[in-house]
Amino acid sequence: MSHIEMPEWVRADIPEQVRRALHEDVGSGDITAELIPLEAEASARVITREPMTLAGTAWVDEVFAQLGGRIAIDWQHQDGDRVAADSLLFTLQGRTRTLLTGERTALNFLQTLSATATSAQRYADMVAGTGVTLLDTRKTLPGLRTAQKYAVTCGGCANHRIGLYDAFLLKENHIAACGSITGAVQRARELYPHRWVEVEVENFRELDEALASGCDVIMLDNFSLEDLRRAVTQVAGKVKLEASGGIDDNTLRSVAETGVDYISIGGLTKHVRAIDLSLRLV
């Protein structure tokens, strides 16, 4: 089994993410669950109907913790595990009302975060052995940024900046507003000397200026394979290089083989399809 370390900045968000999700689903109370005797108890099994990489166990645990009802959860797999279709993911035992009230919210988290991890795993498999690091972006579901960022790591990829607050990414409009790449990097260093500074470039003239600016990473936006290889040779390891833009399944491996350090892919988080899960009382 895999073991994925969950950062504190992810763990700290889970209670509020679950609280909001339960509020929108349960609202003033689950009137359908009131059909069931209050003290009735049951067991349930959750299976996946398709192959997947698991992510989101802590969110499921938190759903039932917040609902109460003394629900015992027995996980058969942990975050980061590759799981075959029709496999048992976990069992639940406890108050029937609570099991049914929490079912949809718990599975919503699990199917979405496992979908993200499965997407990331697919991309990671495509570049295995190249040495490149695949990065996510800020193209995440509102309110689930930290959850999806965590799920990406469960699938074997890595996180870019978490938000607008923890690193600089100087894009075309930022550079234009600051007057130049050099000016933008200088201002960033003055404001936050210890923050990561990345500069997006669209041509070799901008690449030269970015390299001289002292930034930490240069993003090569929509460079051809030939130009990516040229940039890697020209930079010669003086700064990290990230490829981005127009990269799909057909080109990903070729881009990775150019020698860039990073490839950022919005599809890790925004092109996911929920995993098909099923919960049944037994």
Catalytically annotated residues: 104, 139, 171, 200, 221
Q: What are phi and psi of 65, to 5 degrees?
A: -65, -40
Token digits of residue 77: 């797999």
Cβ–Cβ under 8 Å, residues 110 and 77: no
> What is the three-class DSSP state of 242?
strand
Strand order, beta sheet including 196-201: 133-135, 262-264, 240-244, 217-221, 196-201, 167-170
Burial class (CB in 10 A: 0-12, 13-18, 19+), 3: exposed
Cβ–Cβ under 8 Å, residues 126 and 91: no
Give the whole-angstrom CA distance, residue 17 versus residue 11: 10
* Number of other residues whose CB lies within 10 A of the CB of residue 75: 17
End-to-end CA distance of the chain: 26
> What is the three-class DSSP state of 30?
coil
Give the whole-angstrom CA distance, residue 202 versus residue 26: 49
User: Look-up: residue for tokens 């833009």?
Assistant: 245
Give the whole-angstrom CA distance, residue 37 versus residue 29: 15
> What is the three-class DSSP state of 213?
helix
